Amino acid sequence: MIAAPVAVLPLAALVGAVGWAGTELEWAPLAVAFTMIAVLALGSRALHLDGLSDVADALTSGHDAERSLVVMKDSAAGPAGAAALVLALGVQTAAVASLLVHERGPWVAATCVCVSRSALAIACARGVRAARSDGLAAHFAQTVPRLAALAVCTVVLAVSTGVFGWAGLDWWRGLVAAGVALGTVAVVVAHCVRRFGGVTGDVFGASIEISLAAALLVAS
């Protein structure tokens, strides 16, 4: 979980390469952006998107924590889940399209992908308990020391700032983009802990997708 921003580098590089190739071939920015987001979704087998949909359905179910977890585990997507997917993917795609007007914009988008994976260090930090005794979160919750989670966030902030400056964008925008993404994760995780009694694997996925949308939106 600590190494997640590094582990996603090959997929992030592929996303950036698709964006670079599309801009070099002078394809429509929006079409290229859709392709980049599609590659990202396929690369993660859409697991994070599934988590976002399930968490949205559970949060809007109106049930208590136990029943909400049952709703979350249901593989069917409800209206809230579908809306969450449309909104998240729409923001991500539109933001990426706006970044493609910059020569090194595709690599800024790729950096935002890496930034979003720091959500796992926050969601698995000590003190953030699992909502269930089984499942993905039961194995990874509270496995990341708080100092390690803080170190991951610090490195992500520094790298994002550097990449934005290298790309010819305002360096402070990189700092803000990563900061907003990390802050969004903290809010999402805290709310899920209050609502469900802890985190789940779906919460991990939802945190990644929401933080990616936040980082790209600020970056754009």
pTM of the model: 0.94
- Collapsing DSSP to helix, strand or coil, 34 comes out as helix
pLDDT tier for residue 147 given thresholds of 50, 70 and 90: very high
**pLDDT digits over 157-194, tens only?**
999 999 999 999 999 999 999 999 999 999 999 999 99
Residue 74 predicted with pLDDT over 80 = no
125 DSSP β-pair partners? 144
Distance from chain centroid for Cα 2: 15
What is the residue extent of each domain of the chain? 4-219
144 DSSP β-pair partners? 125
- Separation of alpha carbons 87 and 93, rounded Å: 10
